[in-house]
Each structure stands twice: as structure tokens, then as C-alpha cells.
A and B are shown apart, each in its own frame.
Chain A
């Protein structure tokens, strides 16, 4: 097998005006979301497509629905 193509990534953005640091995304996808200090959300804007299920879980669980995801990985890079 030839070397694998780079993992296509997802695009994530969070409306940090809306975000109230409920941290539900941090439980759903801990490798891509975390709270720093009391209420600063740090997130990975380009998570790997293999983590799609966790990212979607984070998006669904957000109490203020602040997470936006673009997934074009199906269409090929």
C-alpha cells in the first residue's frame, strides 16, 4: 500500500458570544474542546474526519447551539 493520504479534516467554529462555557462539548469530544480557566473555550477548528462522531456529539449536546461544523470529507479532499 502506498502511504495514506492526509486525513481530510472537518471545519469547526464556535460562536464565542453565544458560548456560556457549559462544557458539554468538552465531555463529548475531549480531544478537540477544552475549557481554560473559568470559562474560556479552546477548540480545534480543524479536527480529523475520523473524529466526526464525537464532533457531531459535541454539536448536538451544546445547550446554546453555538457549534458550527462543515464536513466536506465525504467529497474527497
Chain B
């Protein structure tokens, strides 16, 4: 069955650099059932039943606004065995249950989702985001200053990677001395969020340890923010109720903070990486951005369409859904291929062309419906800051590897390294 291999090919690491021809084939059937080799827990039976994949713009748009789909698809938490019976039989089962009942809102349906998300958004104010915009611009310059005198820069390691963590630390009000730990935890957790990536027992234990370490750290930080509130997001979440009178408990607060860290970091790294790669491949657009920095918002929004950092999201049907000439039965896993919908010729003329001057673009890059990316405004500002500074300060940039090596995940897709040779860094 040809379909059986399409999703597997997309997940196949050898196709990571350019999955778009595969997406085009996928779109030929707007909603298809695909056997998904290598995703999910084997015992869940997903492999045999397959998953449903929506690939056209219209189908993705409809499904992400459809109340018959749930995001509560996460398998129950299983902390790996440690060999210590007290931990394995007493402590971890309790911790697992707690983790499951305090999943972050990305994996929750209403009403829990709405309470948590509204509380978060209430503190994620335009004023705070605007402050982070100015902060991003300064951070980018500081990071590039460190590379002055060098003739090569890795845009991922030297800029895209450190920038979002620094911004999130600032947003949370993490004491400066602790920022380094945040960097380490974030990179470790990133490997844990990709569904279906087979990891070694060792890595699983390491991931669980990281999760517990960051939880412990955040518990202390939240307690500190309650004792001594400052003007930062965590203090706001810890001390202020929403207009409806809801205030997060500590466990929800910690899980929300971890969500912001992981979702806000990995996505921004990929956005900046994908964006700079795209500009290097479109030198005329890079030149225009250099001449006219005010184009940055258009460039970033078009990257969100053309090569978005999150390529797909997962859902589950609560009822059968008739769509695009087929019926997805109840209880099925559904993948919304955001990146495929973004290249749908029915929604975007000449979809494979990178064109920041498109108008009326309703792209899927930030998702949509209830789960539209909370951090989108921050991501946009970070990427704008990075791209304008790179365009301004890199003299005669040239890609050293094209395509660059990619990170493993198919979902959160972006370059692992993005080495650029430069005449100099201004």
C-alpha cells in the first residue's frame, strides 16, 4: 500500500532536509489513512490501525476548528525504573499520577485548557512582550558581538539556540546565575518531546531526571516569587488571579512554566534557523531585507508559511468526522500536517515560491483554533531581531553546508547546525 509508506518516509530522517515533495504527494488525498511505522507506543495499536493525516489547507483548517477533536492524546506518564524499589514502587507511581493530572494546557481540552491558558495569557501581556522585543534586539547584538573577528558563525549554536532561553529566563525572572542550568535542561527536554523517537533506556532515565530537576528548581523559584514578587511572568502567575478569579496552583504553574520553556525554546530555534536558511537561499530577499529592515515582519510571517518550525500536530477524534470525501471514525489518531497545508496551491498561488509580499495569507504555521501558539508574538519578535541583525552585520555571508545537517525530529523540524562563512561580522 503506497500510502503506508508516505508518512513513514516523512518521518524517515533521510528526508528531513526536504519533506515538501512528500507533502505534495500527501496532499493528493486531502485526508488519508496512513500506516505509521515507528510512531507511538506499540501496545496502543496505532501501528496496526494507522493514523489519519490531513494535508490540504482546507482540511487542516476545518479540523483544527472542530470540537470533535481532542488534544488529550498523551499516553500516561511512565517514569523509567531506577532499580530502587522505594522509588520505583512508591514514589514514581505517585509522581506519574501527579504529572498526568497536571498536564500543560497544550495537551488539555476545555475547561482545564481554558483556565490555564487564560491565566497564562492574562500575564503574557503586550507590555511584557514588547519589553522582550527590545531585550531580544539587545541580546542578538551581544551574541553577535561575541563572534566579531571570526570568519564563520553557526547561526544555530551561536544565535538561534541561546537567544530564546535568555528571553524566557528574562520573562520568568530567573536569577542570572541560574540561566546556564536552564540552557542545559531545555536542550535535554527537547529530545523528550518528539513523539515516536526511540530513545535508549539511559536517555529516558536522564530525561526523567531532568524533568524532576527542573520541577524542583521551579518549585523553589515559584515559592520565591510568592515571597518576593517582581515584575515578571512567574510572579504574575503566582500571585494574581484572572478577572474570573482563577489562580493556578503550584503544580499547574510548574507544568505551565515547563511548557513555555520547551515550546518557547525549540520552536524559536527552528524558526530562526529555517528563516536564515531560507534567506541564504534567496539572496535577493536577503538583500531587500538588508536595505529595508521594515520588511522583517513580512519575511518572518512568510517563513511561518514556507518552512514552519512545527510541521504537524496530533489530535484524536471523539466522534466520527466526515471530511474531504472520507470518514474518520471515532477514537482515531489524526495528524494535522500544518507544513503541507501551507504549501497547498488551492490556498496559496505558486505555493513553493518564497514571497514575503503575499497578501491575505492565512497560514497554519502557528496552528489555530483553541491551541493557536500562545508564544507567537514573542517568536515573531525574536526572529525579526535575529534576521535584521544578521542581515545588517554579516558581511558577504555564504552557506558552508547546503543542505545543513538537520535535527532528528520530524515534528519540530530545523537545522542542527547552520554554518555560514563571512567576510567579517560588523
Contact = CB atoms under 8 A, between A and B. Distances in A.
Interface in B124-177: 126-127, 129-130
B377 A28 contact: yes
Interface of B is mostly: helix
Interface stretch (B1-9, B83-91, B294-302, B314-322): B294-302
Nearest to B65: A20
Contacts of B118: 38
A22 interface: yes
A60 B368 contact: no
A30 B130 contact: yes
A53 B368 CA distance: 25
Interface stretch (B204-212, B324-332, B359-367): B359-367
A64 B363 CA distance: 9
A17 B18 CA distance: 38
Contact of B297 (A26, A57, A63, A64): A57
B257 to A, nearest CB: 20
Interface string A44-65: 0000000001001100110111
B399 interface: no
B247 interface: no
A27 interface: yes
B242 to A, nearest CB: 10
A9 interface: no
B116 to A, nearest CB: 15
Nearest to A23: B121
Contacts of A64: 362
Contacts, number: 35
Contacts of B121: 23
B376 interface: yes
Given A56-B297, A61-B301, A64-B362, A27 B126 contact: yes
B126 A22 contact: no
B246 interface: no
Contacts of B361: 65
B226 to A, nearest CB: 27
Interface of A: 22-24, 26-28, 30, 34, 38, 53, 56-57, 60-61, 63-65
Given A38-B118, A65-B362, 19 more contacts: A22-B372, A23-B121, A24-B377, A27-B126, A27-B129, A27-B130, A30-B126, A30-B130, A53-B294, A56-B297, A57-B297, A60-B297, A60-B301, A61-B377, A61-B380, A63-B366, A64-B362, A65-B360, A65-B361
